[in-house]
Amino acid sequence: MASITVVSPLAPAAFPDLPIIDGVAFSTAAAGVKYQGRTDVMLATLSAGTVVAGAFTRSSTRSASVLDCQAKLGGASDRTAAIVVNSGNSNAFTGKGGVVSVEAITTATAQACGAPSERVFTSSTGVIGEPLPHERITGVLDTLAKSASHEGIAEAAQAIMTTDTFPKGASASIEIDGKTVSIAGIAKGSGMIAPDMATMLVYIFTDALIGQDALQTLVSRSNAQTFNCITVDSDTSTSDSLIVAATGASGVDVEGQDAFADALHGVMLDLAHQVVRDGEGATKFVEVIVTGAATNADAKQHAMAIANSPLIKTAVAGEDPNWGRVVMAVGKSGAAADRDRLSIRFGDVEVAKDGWRSADYSEEAAATHMKGTDIVIGVDIGIGTGAATVWTCDLTHGYISINADYRS
């Protein structure tokens, strides 16, 4: 795998100070699954009563871990639970051996943590098609279980990284009926990023009290507007997993509380944006806003065509306001459009209006916007009220350097 030595220029200044979530403890280990000299296994233990919701890749070649987690969602929540994650090997396209590895890891974790195996959720990320040396993971589980700490979430974020250049974390705290409810989340993701969902692993923890069905509804709804609205390279992974765990330790019932729904959505959106900002080789963060489409679904289809266009992404990398490529992407998207009603802007600079270049268009002003690190491409289709926003990054030589050498 190509050596990652430079932190993304779009990275936040530092990893955030995340709140401790009562009922959750973390530990990490350097098991040598693939990487040497760094942690690559993370264990999160969850107190009895924790409810778990999630969203996963819909790839037809999804991994054994994903299939196992999907089967376990919605089960009884009265016992202790655990999440085990390894980086460096995705345990995908590994046949029956992949299933054996998942069973071995869940069984060993259950024994180490005193949890039933049906309450152990596993994730693997890394190279596809190579057998997972699961004995390296099971060999450190007893130590991980004994060393788990409520303050270990930052180290957990480090352990799950692959080609990431920085660990990703986000949080929120809200007041409901005079009591504080906290949310803390971590994620990994840098390449092979596209719905549904992306090559990313996301783990969000809260001390809110909420039923599994209600939590799943919130997670699914926000996932559609956050992680399923980002793309780095249009490639969908075999291993995407989003797991949200609510311990209930705050004693605050959040069902039907808009404040909690908004806070959870905010944490998910923050993490989704960080994944894009750490896109492999990225130097620009791009927001694509489409309005005036026939439907919201059409708006998203247009937006993703723009966000996934290599011609647009390389133009952004070269700081070239090549709006003709936006016209191309809208035309090829397959969603309804009218050439003579189309309007385009870069930031606040109107480029085209009603199917023609704007009379007062300034190439210099558009080029100035493209020199920034946060780029906005706005498109109004002009035929309806449908709208969507998606996020992407530019495409640079750095992406090639990382992925041409990924398995070595």
Count CA atoms within 13 Å of residue 257 on its CB side: 18
CA separation for the pair 31, 91 (Å, rounded): 15
Q: Is the peptide bond before 340 cis (omega within 30 degrees of 0)?
A: no
Residue 224: φ, ψ to 5°: -65, -25
Count CA atoms within 13 Å of residue 309 on its CB side: 25
Cβ–Cβ < 8 Å for 84, 42: yes
Measured CA distances, 288 to 76, 298, 313, 351, 398 (Å): 41, 14, 12, 15, 22
Provide the token pair at 113.
Answer: 């943590």
Nearest to 72 by CA among 96, 40, 50: 50
CB neighbours of 8 closer than 8 A, spacing ≥ 6? Answer: 165, 166, 277, 278, 279, 282
Residue 393: φ, ψ to 5°: -140, 175
Of 199, 226, 231, 247, the catalytic one is 199
CA separation for the pair 119, 55 (Å, rounded): 16
Residue 238: φ, ψ to 5°: -85, -5
CA separation for the pair 331, 306 (Å, rounded): 10
Measured CA distances, 311 to 81, 283, 394 (Å): 46, 16, 10
180 is catalytic: no
Q: Is the peptide bond before 197 cis (omega within 30 degrees of 0)?
A: yes
Count of CB atoms within 10 A of residue 175's CB? 10
Residues annotated catalytic, as ranges: 199
